[in-house]
Amino acid sequence: MSENCNVCGAPFDAPIFESAEAKSLTTMNTLINGKTTVYFCAHCQHGQTNELPDLVEFYATEYEINIDSEDDDQLYDVIDGKEIYRSEHQARVLMSKIDLSRHRKVLDYGCAKAPTLRQVCGAVPGIEPYLYDVTDKYIPFWETFPSKAQWATHSPDPKWHGQIDVVLSFYALEHIPHLAGILGDVRALLVDGGYFYFIVPDMYQNAADFVVADHVNHFSRQSLWHLLANNGFTDIDIDDQAHASAYVVSARRAPDGAAPPAPPVFEDRARQALELAELWGSIKTGITAFEAHTPADVPLVIYGAGIYGNFILSCLANPERVTHFLDQNAFLHGTEISGAPVIAPADLPHQKAAILVGLNPRNARRIIDEIPGLRAPGRDFLFLA
Ligand SMILES: [Zn+2]
């Protein structure tokens, strides 16, 4: 089946990656049927994963981020022993990028519980929050917003068109094949000069983004720029430093009929995209070799209860050998993955253990070295790269 680029429409050549397994891992750490196939656009440097038919069922049943409680947030970082959660960091970055005391009508588009906008409303007086999601299951959370919110489900309220100062989108565009449609909807909601502000993953900083089946778009700076410039946006700012493993992007609604802004010079990502394909092609070999070399009486422990940890589990010949998952996110303690409890690193009961490190290879060694006592004698470690 031929595929075209979701951003620029150019046809792809051969894929740069096809997974060996018949099943693919999702961001909810579940497996769905079908191989992951990744393409790279020579024209706009967009990475793209094939849409598997089972994604429809996946979104209908499993794709629920943190519905359980208001405080159940994802751990962003631990700095000097203090936990920082994702919405907290996102709110801080947003407030540093856009003066929300002057651009007050802020719509969180596809907001779920809208934890970031909730934080912003608490910090900046006078914000008028607008909330939109396709489902009505988040209304109980919206009813308790710190400032009175307007909301809509299924589609944005037509009365909002041309009224909104800032449209926010956190981790949505990577899931959506029909990007031009979304950009058109967002643009119609904005006042002239209004901001579209969004965050999407950066696979060049976090290799896991390359391999998850529900991320059909893997943006580069160039493909983001192409997307915005050719869909009626200008003043494009793409920041790959403000948020770990992500692009923080803002652009303003250009007047109707305005010519696209002239493109800057972009770094060439083609070689790095191929390196990611090679990494994921060879990672399983290292995991199964480590498992085979670990004596049967040594417990296997996986560090990281997220996507990398679950990927490791899916590669093991005998996954029942895993006695524990270790994770610093307190919200995960007391949960289980395939029958293995998730515990704090300090609670690891075994003196002897073989620890498979399921963390972003870029930070894995630093994170492990910073945990007091984890690198105890008699413990072997496997790092993914
Ligand atoms: Zn393209």
Could you report the per-residue pLDDT of 247-268, keeping only the tens digit for each? 999 999 999 999 999 999 999 9
DSSP string, 135-159: SSTTHHHHTT-SS--EEEESS--GG
Could you report the per-residue pLDDT of 149-170, keeping only the tens digit for each? 999 999 999 999 999 999 999 9
Instruction: State the pLDDT at residue 67.
Output: 47
How much distance in Å is there from the Cα of 269 to the middle of ligand 1?
13
Could you report the per-residue pLDDT of 13-38, keeping only the tens digit for each? 999 999 887 888 888 888 889 999 99
How much distance in Å is there from the Cα of 9 to the middle of ligand 1?
6
How much distance in Å is there from the Cα of 46 to the middle of ligand 1?
5
Boundary-marking domain end, from 241, 261, 281: 261
Q: Are residues 256 and 125 in the same domain?
A: yes
Total domains, the chain: 2
Could you report the per-residue pLDDT of 164-188, keeping only the tens digit for each? 999 999 999 999 999 999 999 999 9
Question: Which of 250, 150, 252, 232 minimizes the C-alpha distance to 191?
Answer: 252
Answer yes or no: is 6 within a domain.
Answer: no
- Across 354-362, average pLDDT: 94
pLDDT of 307 over the 90 cut: no
Q: How far apart are CA 218 and CA 216, in angstroms?
A: 7
How much distance in Å is there from the Cα of 190 to the middle of ligand 1?
26
Could you report the per-residue pLDDT of 260-299, keeping only the tens digit for each? 999 999 999 999 999 999 999 888 889 999 999 999 999 9
- Across 308-325, average pLDDT: 93
CB atoms within 10 A of CB 115: 25
Question: Which of 336, 347, 246 minimizes the C-alpha distance to 29?
Answer: 336
How much distance in Å is there from the Cα of 180 to the middle of ligand 1?
13
Work out the percent of the chain whose per-residue pLDDT is above 90.
75
Report residue 379's pLDDT band, with 50, 70 and 90 as the boundaries: very high
- Across 213-221, average pLDDT: 96
How much distance in Å is there from the Cα of 288 to the middle of ligand 1?
36
Question: Amino acid identity of 223?
Answer: S
Could you report the per-residue pLDDT of 92-116, keeping only the tens digit for each? 999 999 999 999 999 999 998 999 9
Report residue 76's pLDDT band, with 50, 70 and 90 as the boundaries: confident
What are the CA-CA distances from residue 35 to residues 19, 142, 211, 212, 337 (Å)? Answer: 6, 38, 10, 11, 23
- Residue 331, phi then psi, degrees to nearest 5: -65, -20
How much distance in Å is there from the Cα of 16 to the middle of ligand 1?
14
Question: Amino acid identity of 222?
Answer: Q
Instruction: Give every CB contact of residue 266 below 8 A, 6+ residues apart in sequence.
Output: 45, 220, 221, 222, 225
- The tally of CA atoms less than 13 A away on the side-chain side of residue 63 is 20
pLDDT of 1 over the 70 cut: no
How much distance in Å is there from the Cα of 376 to the middle of ligand 1?
48
- Across 202-219, average pLDDT: 94
How much distance in Å is there from the Cα of 5 to the middle of ligand 1?
5
Answer yes or no: is 338 within a domain.
Answer: yes
Question: Where residue 301 sits, what CATH number does that domain have?
Answer: 3.40.50.720
Q: Are residues 124 and 168 in the same domain?
A: yes
DSSP string, 303-352: E-SSHHHHHHHHH-S-GGGEEEEE-S-GGGTT-EETTEEEE-GGG---SS
How much distance in Å is there from the Cα of 216 to the middle of ligand 1?
13
Q: Are residues 252 and 184 in the same domain?
A: yes
Report residue 73's pLDDT band, with 50, 70 and 90 as the boundaries: low
Instruction: State the pLDDT at residue 43.
Output: 96
How much distance in Å is there from the Cα of 199 to the middle of ligand 1?
19
Q: Are residues 104 and 250 in the same domain?
A: yes
Q: Are residues 99 and 246 in the same domain?
A: yes
Q: Are residues 98 and 234 in the same domain?
A: yes
How much distance in Å is there from the Cα of 121 to the middle of ligand 1?
37
- Across 296-317, average pLDDT: 92
How much distance in Å is there from the Cα of 175 to the middle of ligand 1?
16
Q: Are residues 224 and 322 in the same domain?
A: no
Instruction: State the pLDDT at residue 64.
Output: 60
pLDDT of 71 over the 70 cut: no
How much distance in Å is there from the Cα of 47 to the middle of ligand 1?
8
Question: Residue 352: which domain range?
Answer: 294-383
Instruction: State the pLDDT at residue 305.
Output: 92
pLDDT of 121 over the 70 cut: yes
Question: Which of 323, 190, 328, 325 minimizes the C-alpha distance to 250?
Answer: 190
